[in-house]
Amino acid sequence: MFSYEEVKQYPSLLIAMTSLTQTEFKQLLSYFQKAWDCYVQGSYINRSDRQRQYGGGRDESTLVSIEDKLLFILYYLKAYPLQEIIAYEFGMRQGNANEWIHILTRVLKKALDDGGHLPERDPQKLEDVINKSSEGEYAIDGTERRIQRPKDKEEQEQYYSGKKKTHTVKNIIIGGIIGRKVNYLSQTYEGKRHDKKIVDEEAPVLPKDISLYKDTGFQGYEPKGVITFQPQKKPRGKELTPEQKEENSIISRIRVVIEHIISGVKRCRIVKDIFRNTKEHYDDLVMEIACGLHNFRVHCRGCYSR
């Protein structure tokens, strides 16, 4: 059985299982403990239909310590094992593992939110978030995640991505070039949606005079008052001038940061491998948490963390 007391003796194993060092694990643990206490208070102690004192009933011998709870959910998000496997590794039944996964996912989200590490989801509030930072350069990009092939024919068409040639879900991310954090995460859409259409529908409000780097998937996206940079396409039957090629190279070197940010988010294999969970909106929840964990690592290390 895995337990934090054993795993912490092997720093490289802890990083492999959670993407966090022991110092970072302990720092996140303080927020996780408060979030867990809040969950217990609201879901058990203050329940109107409670018939016995909290703690009564059958004995639960799995995930007793708060450290084991955090290790369990971080390991699930980072490695994304089958529920049967993680249940065996932590000494429980598959049904218990499923229940713990969905409980602790919500607790972890609250912990990251309390720490101020979750990305903004409301497009109308993005301007305030960016104004609080000292950055002036940002990049925008879309990211897709593979999902299992839907059984319904209409859903198959909606989730089929012509770009990836498979069924996917999609998000738009806006991140800072210097800070390298995820400042904004769109809602989760079916893979058929085009990046430009998503950003037009959500219309995130950006401060004036900031620089925004984008790729050709956002052709025509020009937020009011924002300075945008996009590589120029080669004209049909013609070649780009040396000056245009050099400008494209400069833009690409700056814009690649958003690719590095997405790579950092996808250290959690639950947002990189084929998504297997069927619980409604869980695909959106884990993407938000993966962005929050990336932001947390960047905050702790003071630099970009892949």
Locate the domains of the chain by residue range.
4-114, 126-279
Q: What average pLDDT does the structure give for the chain?
A: 92
* pLDDT of amino acid 42: 84
Residues 6+ apart with CB under 8 A from 11: 21, 22
Q: What is the pLDDT of residue 38?
A: 95
For residues 286, 292, 298, 304, the Cα torsion angle rounded to the nearest 10 degrees is 50
Distances (CA, A) of 268 to 70, 73, 244, 261, 263: 15, 11, 37, 13, 9
CB atoms inside a 10 Å sphere around CB 174: 26
Name the pTM for this structure. Answer: 0.92
Q: pLDDT at residue 265 above 60?
A: yes
Query: For residue 51, what pLDDT band results from cuts at 50, 70 and 90?
Result: low
